[in-house]
Structure 1
Amino acid sequence: YELLRMNHGESISDFQKQFTHLINHLVDLGRKFEEEELNLKVLQCLDSSWKIKFTTLEESKHLTSLTLATLFGKLREHEQKLHIF
């Protein structure tokens, strides 16, 4: 969990699958997560090419009200706007 990072060139959808699989496994082992903690972790794991979006989302102060699914949705929207994938 602590060493997880998005690979350069990896799509948000692929990273979401990897992240969700890891979190589900940790939850099965008894680990508990707050939504804000997961949101921050996702943002911290993003490839450096996402720095501007990371800063925008982090500064919005809405991380506590966003669900993880909504955060990934916003990241996918941004990815599509940039035509990255």
Structure 2
Amino acid sequence: MAHSVDKPSFFDETNYAYWKTRMMFFFKSKDYKLWDIIEDGPFVPQRSKAEWSADDRKKMELNCKALNFLFRALSLNIYENMSSYESAKEV
């Protein structure tokens, strides 16, 4: 079965170690900073949203991108348990 380099590997609740390794390299190949967000947690600006710089916004977008990829890779059963999380590190 061919796998797309643009889509994350789907986790069907079997062989977690294999899926995790594939996802690690998927994130690193998209943008290495995405993997940093998963390992270290998201950047959280220490000012109001109205005061965010372009760099603050870009860093916040990284967490959203990582969450998007993760949620697209999870079965519905797993997604339902994780959908309330707000950071890729939590997922």
Larger Rg: 2
Task: Give TM-score, length-normalised by structure 2.
Answer: 0.45
- Structure of higher RCO (CA pairs closer than 8 Å, 6+ residues apart): 1
Task: Give TM-score, length-normalised by structure 1.
Answer: 0.47
Q: More helix by proportion, 1 or 2?
A: 1
